[in-house]
Amino acid sequence: MLRADPRRALKDALPPRPKGKTVVVGAGKGAAQLAAAFEELWDGPLTGTVVTRYGYATPCKSITVLEASHPVPDSAGLAASQALFDAVSGLTEDDLVVALICGGGSALLPAPPEGMSLEDEQQLNQVLLASGAPIGVMNAIRKHASRIKGGRLAAAAWPARVVSLVVSDVPGDQACQVASGPTVPDEVTLTQVRAMVAARGIKLPEKIRAHLERGNDLPPRPDDPVFGRNETRIIASACLSLEAAAELARGRGVAAIILSDAIEGEARDVGLVHAAIAREVASRDRPFTKPVVILSGGETTVTLRGKGRGGRNTEFLLSFAAAIDGIEGIAALAADTDGIDGSEENAGAFAGPGTASQLWSKGMDPLASLAANDAWSAFDAIDDLFVTGPTGTNVNDFRAILVGDLPDQM
């Protein structure tokens, strides 16, 4: 993931030094690594605060690094949200706020509106994570039930200029969607949010539902004058990382195809589609000729039906493995680039033509495991989990499927 390395991503994106102070704020699973890289690259004094997931902190000299819970918010995240507001308060038009934003920030920055509690926001997150809704829908709802998301942190920094440097983990690389856009406003209206909830039958907690019905405390619109001097830059993304992976494969004599960097949908269903493509290549050399690496990214979702362990990448891969059972010449990796798949400690897993039969030999039915949302246990049983630890970046899911034999020189 060199193309998504924080230091490399930041190097060419630094804003000019301001006349006044430089204040750094940030949130996400890679926020501490971004902060450390920014300190190393910045030529001048600075202060600031960023929040990251427990266990993901990296020491910084001038920037305070806080830790909080992900994917379900906690009181440490509540305190971190206030710390970010404190960091940007009382600034002038000569000051600069640099916002280092990456995936995971939605859960790390709870800030419930007046009349609601942390428990209400926790319930909302749990409902959304179990709903199977795409990330854009989840974030639209979150923005309308928060005091910090949807550009509100940037609005609080006015009249200072805000430059948001964003590592995108969302399909389509919309900066306003990353971490629910604490410094980037969104066009989505309350009417649209209500329609999203109704169309998907999402059963919101009562206080959240009532809040959306009242329509109070709406997020600022993108044309609000407080955003007039601000700037947003995508400094790393799934698109750029997939292109780098394809270039690496081609340099080693293997054809590479990028299906898309914005694939969404139910993880198990996306797994079946990828498996169908891999089978077609393996047996008929269409639509691609083997050997070939088939690459894709995006963010699938999991609708919880069982009580097993796992994340969207292991669920994708278990579905994929069952569908290619016994077909030789196919090998696959699916992983989250931040190093954590769902709530577990693995980034993802590996699979091949013998994965399903290995599970049967362990007394495990792959489809039963899939039905129970227990993909982690399945891959753990055959020692095929992919464990990296925190990577310091987050450009969403990465899937690589090799069909055919590698060239001899590899």
> What's the mean pLDDT in 16-33?
96
The residue among 369 and 132 whose pLDDT is bigger is 369
φ and ψ of 51, to 5 deg: -125, 140
pLDDT tens figures, 38-49: 999 999 999 999
pLDDT tens figures, 282-296: 999 999 999 999 999
In this predicted structure, the answer to whether residue 372 has a pLDDT above a threshold of 60 is yes
* Residue 372 CB contacts under 8 Å (≥ 6 apart), including other chains: 305, 306, 307, 308
pLDDT at site 282 = 97
pLDDT tens figures, 240-251: 889 999 999 999
pLDDT at site 395 = 87
CB under 8 A, 24+ apart: contacts of 215-221: 215/190, 216/113, 217/113, 217/114, 217/147, 218/144, 218/190, 219/143, 219/144, 219/146, 219/149, 219/150, 219/151, 219/152, 219/185, 219/186, 220/150, 220/151, 220/152, 220/155, 220/185, 221/185, 221/187
> What's the mean pLDDT in 301-313?
91
pLDDT at site 2 = 57
pLDDT tens figures, 181-210: 999 999 999 999 999 999 999 999 999 999
Question: Rounded to an integer, what distance in angstroms lies between the CA atom of residue 323 and that of residue 12?
Answer: 43
State pTM to two decimals. Answer: 0.81
Question: Is residue 408 very low, low, confident or very high in pLDDT (cuts 50, 70, 90)?
Answer: low
Give the chain's mean pLDDT.
Answer: 94
> What's the mean pLDDT in 111-121?
94
Question: Rounded to an integer, what distance in angstroms lies between the CA atom of residue 99 and that of residue 184?
Answer: 10
Residues recorded for the chain: 410
In this predicted structure, the answer to whether residue 231 has a pLDDT above a threshold of 90 is yes
pLDDT tens figures, 89-106: 999 999 999 999 998 899
The residue among 170 and 312 whose pLDDT is bigger is 312
Question: Is residue 3 very low, low, confident or very high in pLDDT (cuts 50, 70, 90)?
Answer: low
Question: Is residue 14 very low, low, confident or very high in pLDDT (cuts 50, 70, 90)?
Answer: very high
| Alpha carbon distances (Å) from 102 to 167, 213, 318 | 5, 30, 28
In this predicted structure, the answer to whether residue 175 has a pLDDT above a threshold of 90 is yes
Which residue type is seen at 222?
P
pLDDT at site 410 = 47
Could you tell me if 314 and 379 are in contact, meaning their C-beta atoms sit under 8 angstroms apart?
yes
pLDDT at site 40 = 95
DSSP H/E element including 50: strand 47-53
* Domains, the chain, ordered by start: 2-236 (3.40.50.10180), 239-403 (3.40.1480.10)
- Strand runs labelled E in 277-329: 292-298
Could you tell me if 313 and 335 are in contact, meaning their C-beta atoms sit under 8 angstroms apart?
yes
Give the SS3 label for residue 326. coil
Q: What percent of the chain has pLDDT over 90?
A: 82
